[in-house]
Amino acid sequence: MAELLTGKEVAAALNQRSKLILEELQANNITPKLAIVRVGEKENDLSYEKGILKRCDELGVLARQVVLPLEVKEEELLKAIEELNEDESVHGILLFRPLPKRMDEDRIVNAILPQKDVDGATDLSLAGVFSGKPMGFAPCTAQAAIEALDYYGYDLSGKNVAVVGRSMVVGKPLGMLLLGRHATVAMCHSRTQNLADITSQADIVVAAIGKPEILTASYFRKNQVVLDVGVSWSEKKGKLCGDVDFDEVSPLVKAITPVPRGIGAITTAVLMNHVVLSAKSTLK
Amino acid sequence: MAELLTGKEVAAALNQRSKLILEELQANNITPKLAIVRVGEKENDLSYEKGILKRCDELGVLARQVVLPLEVKEEELLKAIEELNEDESVHGILLFRPLPKRMDEDRIVNAILPQKDVDGATDLSLAGVFSGKPMGFAPCTAQAAIEALDYYGYDLSGKNVAVVGRSMVVGKPLGMLLLGRHATVAMCHSRTQNLADITSQADIVVAAIGKPEILTASYFRKNQVVLDVGVSWSEKKGKLCGDVDFDEVSPLVKAITPVPRGIGAITTAVLMNHVVLSAKSTLK
């Protein structure tokens, strides 16, 4: 049976690192603050927000909720973001997406200052992830996968990693982060031919597709490390599942993250860490 | 013997496409203009500039040389770039690099407006290459490799491509362009273990390392397409060579680009095409 790479311990260790920085900030009379910008009252947003507020509270990060009505004008939303950009007491800005369709989401997202873009949403954050230059932050889920590999002691240098999925929130940025750690990265996706050949040859397989349990045992071999970043609803099982068929694959491989309680359990700790790092970067 | 994928025909076909756009622009009384910004009189820069001026002249693209003394102040150089940004008659800005070491090259490069960044040097151009969003332009050499594959009729969708080298001017952006064409892309580099296993399994191998003839026959198998983007001086042979040992590899594979007269012969045509496309984007 594979080692279970649960997220809880990774998040706890990351929170520990954040706390050390928080102490340093406290000594300088700085309390990190995250602004959460929400348009409307979508259930998903509310539940994510609740989780974030809880973590902020536990860690000692201030939270400021900026809630705008669903019918808010685009210019009003932009103004709200600009005020948060200018507010020196705010170190991170998280904007819930997707925004209402009538809005130019790209324009609004890119109004966020890269140094406050703790969710890794702006073009300059993505340029930073791509080039390795210290600009903005990586998308939290992509960074969470790196944190898990680090915590469980997997050295990435020279390793063959297959990343399945090429979204801008996970697959592509994670590919670049892995490349930055000197892994050899195979970027795979829906058009990939002989996917099982590629995944089964990798040392580490990252699944970031978003389709329940489509990676069955035939995609894997023993001694592999499997990170399952996908979370989607399985009609068949009537529950949230990862991209990997856990029951089939876990007896086969060396180590695997569960879904839930795997990568997803690390994401908010990464967000907190980004807020704290952003605050730290204001120290001279 | 492999089919020889020479660059001349690719450049000619690309110039043809540029000419069609030039005619459309002419009908709208627009003549595309490229500004070439040079600091000092470095021999490399002068020789590249000469080639560009010749191509501009042949194609009917205007060129404006902005030459600043080696001891120019950073703020003066920035001012020159800002003037070119504001000048509506200028559609592309090419800044020769590296700049003198005392200068903040990153700051200066990123002063160039992305829509005039025909050399794909700014962070926003790179974000565009990374995300696929229409911002800025791809680095010319990376785009030249794509043009060669297109011209010689290689469909990339679902193909396995090994990219060896992860520089920000070729390897990484080319990997993203290939991914955008739905190739499965293995990003390899100096830390890659078992490189020959990966390259020999690919349908297409792109070498972008910059070390003369280090990819010998053992890295390849028959039926592969090889793009050799590297150009470096071989002490052994006393001439410019690619990354691929051409004499060993060309009898083995299906098709290969020579060095010189391969990808390098396409780069300036890409630059011209970018200038023309930039001018076209100003048409309403």
Write down the pLDDT at residue A1.
83
Prediction ipTM score: 0.95
CATH number, domain B17-119: 3.40.50.10860
For residues A174 and A142, the answer to whether their CB atoms sit within 8 Å is yes
Cα–Cα distances (Å) from B92 to B30, B257, B269, in that order, read: 13, 29, 14
CB contact under 8 A, B184 and A184: no
> Regarding the domain delimited by A31-117, which CATH topology (the fold level of the hierarchy) does it fall under?
Rossmann fold (3.40.50)
Looking at CA atoms only, how far is residue A181 from chain B in angstroms? 10
Per the DSSP assignment, residues forming a β-bridge with B215 are B244
Write down the pLDDT at residue B284.
74
For residues B69 and B40, the answer to whether their CB atoms sit within 8 Å is yes
Residues of A within 8 A of B184 (CB-CB) are 186-189, 191-193, 198
Q: Please indicate if any CB of chain A lies within 8 Å of the CB of B127.
A: yes
B186: nearest CB among A106, A159, A184: A184
Instruction: Match 């035939």 to its residue by tokens.
Output: A218
B29-85 pLDDT, tens digit per residue, is 999 999 999 999 999 999 999 999 999 999 999 999 999 999 999 999 999 999 999
Cα–Cα distances (Å) from A166 to A73, A174, A198, A205, in that order, read: 33, 9, 15, 14
How large is the greatest C-alpha to C-alpha distance in chain A, in angstroms? 56
Could you list the beta-strand ranges (E) of B54-180: 62-68, 92-95, 160-164
CA–CA separation, B257 and B263 (whole Å): 7
Instruction: Match 């399985």 to its residue by tokens.
Output: A234
B181-234 pLDDT, tens digit per residue, is 999 999 999 999 999 999 999 999 999 999 999 999 999 999 999 999 999 999
Looking at CA atoms only, how far is residue B203 from chain A in angstroms? 11
User: With bands split at pLDDT 50, 70 and 90, how would you rate the model's confidence at A284?
Assistant: confident
Cα–Cα distances (Å) from B183 to A61, B152, B157, in that order, read: 43, 16, 5
CB contact under 8 A, B123 and A106: no
Tell me which residues of chain A, numbers 172 to 191, contact chain B at a CB-CB cutoff of 8 Å.
172, 175-176, 179, 182, 184-189, 191
Q: What is the mean pLDDT of chain B?
A: 97
Residues of A within 8 A of B167 (CB-CB) are none
Q: Please indicate if any CB of chain A lies within 8 Å of the CB of B130.
A: yes
**Model pTM?**
0.96
Write down the pLDDT at residue A230.
95
Residue from A131, A135, A161 whose CB has the most chain B CBs within 10 Å, to mutate: A131
CB contact under 8 A, A123 and B133: yes
A69-84 pLDDT, tens digit per residue, is 999 999 999 999 999 9
- Amino acid identity of A6? T
Residue from B110, B131, B198, B204 whose CB has the most chain A CBs within 10 Å, to mutate: B131
For residues A12 and A147, the answer to whether their CB atoms sit within 8 Å is no
SS3 category, B58: helix
Domains A31-117 and A140-265 share a fold: yes
A126: nearest CB among B127, B160, B189: B127
Residue from A112, A161, A163, A191 whose CB has the most chain B CBs within 10 Å, to mutate: A191
Residues of B within 8 A of A191 (CB-CB) are 157-158, 182, 184
**pLDDT of residue A35 exceeding 80:** yes
User: With bands split at pLDDT 50, 70 and 90, how would you rate the model's confidence at A91?
Assistant: very high
How many Cβ atoms sit within 10 Å of the Cβ of residue B71? 10
A127: nearest CB among B124, B186, B193: B124
Looking at CA atoms only, how far is residue A203 from chain B in angstroms? 11
> Regarding the domain delimited by A140-265, which CATH topology (the fold level of the hierarchy) does it fall under?
Rossmann fold (3.40.50)
Residues of B within 8 A of A187 (CB-CB) are 175, 179, 184-187
Write down the pLDDT at residue B59.
97
Pick from B210, B206, B205, B217: nearest CA to B251 = B217
Write down the pLDDT at residue A162.
98
Write down the pLDDT at residue A144.
98
**pLDDT of residue B149 exceeding 90:** yes
Cα–Cα distances (Å) from B140 to B36, B106, B143, B150, in that order, read: 15, 18, 5, 15
DSSP designation for B99: P
Chains A–B, number of C-beta pairs less than 8 Å apart:
94
CA–CA separation, A227 and A229 (whole Å): 6
What is the domain partition of chain A in residue ranges? Answer: 31-117, 140-265
Number of residues written out for chain B: 284
**pLDDT of residue B273 exceeding 80:** yes
Pick from B271, B231, B283: nearest CA to B94 = B271
Pick from B110, B37, B166, B139: nearest CA to A187 = B166
CB contact under 8 A, A179 and B166: yes
